[in-house]
């Protein structure tokens, strides 16, 4: 988890650099916490522990990580609205998360339109990086095809 958080933050800096004066790297995390609590609450706690470890070790390039989490209600439309809010209001550097494939595909399309990095944490659909893939979307978990 430590390596994943560090890699994600460093990758985000490459694609969407923060102003030189920023002392934190804001990460916009969206997921279906109300719809899939049994799976996603432990995921969130693990993510928070990893960020705490990175920050305790001095952050990334001397900058602390700050995660701003939002619930997407397992709904593609809500996920796009939340992603827009994270970018425009919260000024996050990149987006990460989504559990359901249909939600991940919607956020991947949003990332392409906005030219912002999106790290799809859980969607299993092959489309997220194949048929509907784009240069701004990357996946963490193996797809359905990769697992067979």
Please determine, looking at this structure, whether the domain spanning 2-12+24-147 carries the CATH number 3.40.120.10: no
- The pTM for the full model equals 0.82
Q: Is the pLDDT of residue 2 over 50?
A: no
pLDDT tens sequence across 61-85: 999 999 999 999 999 999 999 999 9
pLDDT tens sequence across 12-47: 554 455 454 579 999 999 999 999 999 999 989 998
Q: Map out the domains of the chain as residue ranges.
A: 2-12+24-147
Q: Is the pLDDT of residue 131 over 90?
A: no
Residue 136 C-beta-side C-alpha neighbours within 13 Å: 21
Mean per-residue pLDDT, 100-108 = 95
Q: What is the DSSP string of 44-97?
A: HHHHHHHHHHHHHTT-BTTBEEEEEEEE-TT-HHHHHHHHHHHHHTS--SEEEE
């Amino acid at each position: 988890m430590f390596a994943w958080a560090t890699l994600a933050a460093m990758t985000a800096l490459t694609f969407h650099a923060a102003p030189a004066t920023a002392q934190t790297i804001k990460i916009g995390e969206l997921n279906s916490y109300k719809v899939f609590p049994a799976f996603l609450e432990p995921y969130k706690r693990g993510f928070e522990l990893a960020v705490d470890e990175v920050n305790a070790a001095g952050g990334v390039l001397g900058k602390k990580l700050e995660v701003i989490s939002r619930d997407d209600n397992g709904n593609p439309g809500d996920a796009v609205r939340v992603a827009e809010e994270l970018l425009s209001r919260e000024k996050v550097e990149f987006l990460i998360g989504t559990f359901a494939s249909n939600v991940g595909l919607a956020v991947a399309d949003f990332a392409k339109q906005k030219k912002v990095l999106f790290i799809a944490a859980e969607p299993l659909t092959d489309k997220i990086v194949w048929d509907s893939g784009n240069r701004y979307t990357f996946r963490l978990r193996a797809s359905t095809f990769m697992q067979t």
